[in-house]
Each structure stands twice: as C-alpha cells, then as structure tokens.
Amino acid sequence: MAYFHFKIAEDEILTRLDKFLAKELPQFSRSLLAKCELLVNSKPAKPAQKIAAGDLIEVKVPPLKTLKIEPENLPLQILFEDSEILVVDKASGMVVHPTDHGGHVAGTLVNAVLFHLKKKASEDRRPGIVHRLDRETSGCLVVAKTEAAKTFLGKEFAERRVEKFYLALVAGKLKTPRGRIDAPMGRDPRDPTRRRVLTGAGAREAVTEFEVVEQFAEATLVRIKLLTGRTHQIRVHFQSIGYPLVGDPTYSTKKLNEKFAAPRMFLHAAELKFHHPKTKELVEFNSPLPTELKNYLRRLKR
C-alpha cells in the first residue's frame, strides 16, 4: 500500500477532492483513486468532498498489480541509522523507488534498503519512502523504518516542517548575493513529464530561497533552501529566471551543456533537518559534495 500526503496551498483553486487527486497523482487511474482510503484533516473523506486551503490530505492507495521488489546488494552510503529511521547519501543516477508503471523494478534505492534491513521481497513499491530526490540528484534522504515513523515524517513533510538545503551550480553570474524566487508551478501542458512556471489553473505555490556561495567566470555556486517541495522545483525556478542548472538534461539547452561539459547535473541535497519521529528532537544531517562535483569546481577555478 502506498501513502501520500498533501497540504492544500492558500492559492490553490478550490475544487473537489477527487479532481485534486487526479491532478496530483496522474500515475493512478480515477477508478483506482476512487478505491483509496481518503482522510481530510485526519477524518475519513469521500471523493466528491470539497477541499479548502490549509486542508491536510492523506491518501492510502490499495496495492496495484503484484510486483515483487527484490532486495539487492547495492552500494548504500549510510549517514545515520537507529530503530526508527535510516538516513542515506543517495548517489546520482539511482532511482529512489520503482515506478508505478513497472519501470525501474531493479537497481533502486528501495531494493538496496530492503537488502540492508534484511527484509524479504516487498510488494510495496515505496516501503519507508516519505520523500524523494530526482534520479540525477545526489544527497541526503531519510527512510522510515517503522509505520509510526513513516506516518509522522509524512505529516512533517506535508506541513513543511522539514528543512531542505541544496547546493547547485547555475549557468551565468547571479546579480544579487541572495534572493527569493516565488513563482507558482505546475505540469507543462505540452509535456506532462516536465514542469514549468504557471499561473491560473494547475499552478501550485512554489518558493525557493538562495544565497551565492562562490562566483566563477561564467557560473555561480548557490546554496538553496526549499520552502515548498514541488517536483523539479529548483531546476524550473532557476531556468525561469535565466540561470539553468549546469548539466541539466531537461531544463537547460544542448548548447550550454556542451559548453560546460559537466560530469552530470550539478544538484546536491546537502542538508536535511527534521524532528526525530520518536524523540521529537531536531536532528540535522549533512552530505559532502561528491568527488566528481568537487573536481569539476576545481577545474572551473583554473
């Protein structure tokens, strides 16, 4: 069974719960969503129920077609582990969990975690997964080891009490030492696999804060704090203001990527802060910049 948590933004166009979920969970059919267990503000809800700004939505999706996720002995860099959580340093190129349409069944972070925890094959595509990083993005990611931890952390992410900081290299020299990008986002109407800055129907609040760490001749290293967690948010926001991420295969241009010749997309989840699901103490985890990105910065300084 898969779990999803959403908090309705203040600027969300008010609608019915089923229509909201159809937009947010396009990988599931409407007939499957109609079978889901739905909670609004921790109370049972019906698909036709109206939703309002500030509502906390919880969705429990029933099992899809049987798909066993096998444990795999894959490299797994562990930053911290106790009885409740596992914090890993995800490598670039690793998919977090098998996709719902059956792709990436092997070689994912979930496969590696199952092996590490000495678990048997799982039919749950997202065991313990409460957030994700893009395939190309490296860095800190927390996995819940118990259902209680998963529920607690899911709500913490949904209510934006988790602090996430990234390091990114953008093409061009930023004109200000720090800034804030407040630009609603949504699916690109022309390509559902991409996101873009939008206004009107389908747009959701997206806010990114940044500060310059170091300037290079034709690029800028920035430290980024996400105040919201939209898919591809950092990549879309910086592209929208004219500073695409170096090495981004989707939102940068072929010409820029050939010019910079980066080893991969330069985006790294460097810091993660959240309240521990059991002790409720604020914990902080850091991931150093990967070697290939450090070496690339050294080349830029020459």
Q: What is the dihedral of CA 217, 218, 222, 228, to 10 degrees?
A: 170
What is the spatial distance between Cα 272 and Cα 38, in angstroms, rounded to a whole number?
Answer: 29
Among the listed residues 18, 55, 134, 248, the single catalytic one is 134
Helix H segments across 97-185? Answer: 109-116, 147-158
Query: Is 134 a residue of the active site?
Result: yes
3-state secondary structure of 155: helix
Cβ 145 vs Cβ 83: under 8 Å? yes
Cβ 137 vs Cβ 89: under 8 Å? no
Instruction: Identify the residue whose tokens are 């109370």.
Output: 43
What is the spatial distance between Cα 14 and Cα 78, in angstroms, rounded to a whole number?
Answer: 42
Instruction: Identify the residue whose tokens are 């500060």.
Output: 211
C-alpha distances (whole Å) from 80 to each of 88, 140, 285 are: 7, 10, 8
First to last CA, the chain: 52
Q: Which amino acid is at 18?
A: D
Cβ 209 vs Cβ 224: under 8 Å? yes
Instruction: Identify the residue whose tokens are 């450090």.
Output: 294
By CB atoms closer than 10 A (0-12, 13-18, 19+), residue 15 is middle
Residues identified as active-site: 134
